[in-house]
Structure 1
Amino acid sequence: MLRRLLIFMGLIVTVVLLFKYCEFKKEDDSAIDYNTNLIQQQIVNVGKLVVTEGHFSEVVTYKNKAEYLMGIVSFDKKALIVVNADVTVAYDLHKMKYDIDEKNKTISILSIPKEEIKISTDIQFYDVEQSKLNPFTGDDYNKINKSVKANLAKKIEKSTLKTNAQNRLVSELSKFLILTNSLGWTLKYEGVVIENEKDFGQKIKL
């Protein structure tokens, strides 16, 4: 009789423990699902164009000479060109690739899209001088436009536009770091654990 009672009590204890374990497991899975959804929502919120804008101006003198009769006769054309340009440097974070490892509570940023540089130019011609034997043509405008954009590209590289855009990118990505730290998750970028905003800055500027 005592033996049956002990077996019965043992079964009751086992059932209670199994129930408690299943309840704990359910709560733990719910927490992971909640954290995962929260991280995904943060990625959606950050997944926008991070843009830095700049304005450049320059004055260019364009000259061209058409020679005839082995250079004895020539006809010049020239123009004063005023260039105004708006430049944007952007990161489309919708193109960012990432992986969420729920089991190990890790989010890995696999790749960040390269910056997109867009140049919008407004070119005005002044003091245009030309002749019927050497008029301005489409080729001239194409050469001028190509030269203007090449000069602007050099100016952009020497300016702080790209650096400012990188700083804004780091600021946006650091939101992931704050969130993952608060949830007890680990954040990685290209396989390296990110512990602070400086780590992001060093990786992005490599």
Structure 2
Amino acid sequence: MKKILLGIIVTVLALFLFQTYSTQKKEEAQLVASSALIQEQIKQVGKLIVTEGHFSQVLNYNNSKQILGPYLTSNKKALIVVNADVFIAFDLAQLEYDINQETKTLSLLNIPKPEIKIHPDLEYYDIEADFLNPFEAKDYNHINSMVKDALLKKVKQSDLHKNAQNRLISELAKFYILTNSLGWTLEYKQQSINGLEALQNITIPPIF
């Protein structure tokens, strides 16, 4: 009778140990699978997000040069019509992150700074100048600088930068949806992201 009881105990203990071992292996496999899914999501999101806008503006350029002091001056001027394509880009291939399997946490460490690129097309009209004050390379450089400053001002006043940030948030939201579905935690700069709404409040590198 004792031998039978001992055999039952040994069998139950063996089954318990086997089930515990199997459960641990299953959990480890799930952790590896979850980590792999997160890595794949990061790979898919790790791309260049580009928001494009088009701007038009008319600028006047005037320059006066004194020939004989205030008694004789030479003026030059031009009307410049500007059409420009503006691009704001976040290169998420440069996103810094950390995956912690033990705590089941995906930590976003650093979001890359956005880049703004302006490609203007300039057309000159009503150019007036003379041999005493001709158009020179420095004039065109000055005009290009004026155009860039004017376009940057228009971009700041537009919704383009806000649209670019919204596109970035929508990409980061994919991380939250995946980690939440796997029972993981998403963090940004050691702060837990507890909902999609919380993503709207994170500090994003400024465009300007």
Whether the TM-score (by the shorter chain) exceeds 0.5 is yes
Map 1:106-117 onto structure 2 (within 5 A): 106-117=105-116
Map 1:57-206 onto structure 2 (within 5 A): 57-204=56-203
Residue equivalent to 1:31? 30
The question of whether the paired residues in 2 share the 8 Å contact of 1:53 and 1:161 is answered with: yes
Shift of 1:196: 1.7
Identical amino acids, percent of aligned pairs: 47
Amino acid at match of 1:82: V
Hey, what's the Cα distance between the residues in 2 that align with 1:196 and 1:21?
34
Hey, what's the Cα distance between the residues in 1 that align with 2:197 and 2:18?
46
Q: Which runs of no fewer than 5 residues in structure 1 stay unpaired? A: none
Hey, what's the Cα distance between the residues in 2 that align with 1:184 and 1:69?
80
Hey, what's the Cα distance between the residues in 2 that align with 1:205 and 1:113?
9
Hey, what's the Cα distance between the residues in 1 that align with 2:83 and 2:203?
31
Hey, what's the Cα distance between the residues in 2 that align with 1:126 and 1:187?
56
1:28-63: CA deviation from partner (whole Å, max 9, x where unpaired): 111100000001101111111222111111111111
TM-score, structure 1 length as denominator? 0.92
Hey, what's the Cα distance between the residues in 2 that align with 1:55 and 1:196?
34
Hey, what's the Cα distance between the residues in 1 that align with 2:132 and 2:164?
48
Hey, what's the Cα distance between the residues in 2 that align with 1:130 and 1:93?
49
Hey, what's the Cα distance between the residues in 2 that align with 1:113 and 1:201?
17
The question of whether the paired residues in 1 share the 8 Å contact of 2:50 and 2:90 is answered with: yes
1:94-143: CA deviation from partner (whole Å, max 9, x where unpaired): 11111111111111111111211111111111111111121111100101
Hey, what's the Cα distance between the residues in 2 that align with 1:60 and 1:9?
94
For residue 28 of structure 2, give the secondary structure of its aligned residue in structure 1. helix
Hey, what's the Cα distance between the residues in 1 that align with 2:133 and 2:126?
16
Hey, what's the Cα distance between the residues in 1 that align with 2:58 and 2:122?
10
The question of whether the paired residues in 1 share the 8 Å contact of 2:111 and 2:204 is answered with: no
Hey, what's the Cα distance between the residues in 1 that align with 2:173 and 2:126?
52
Shift of 1:15: 3.2
Alignment size in residue pairs: 205
Shift of 1:172: 1.1
Amino acid at match of 1:27: K
The question of whether the paired residues in 2 share the 8 Å contact of 1:67 and 1:74 is answered with: yes
Amino acid at match of 1:94: A
Q: Which runs of no fewer than 5 residues in structure 2 stay unpaired? A: none
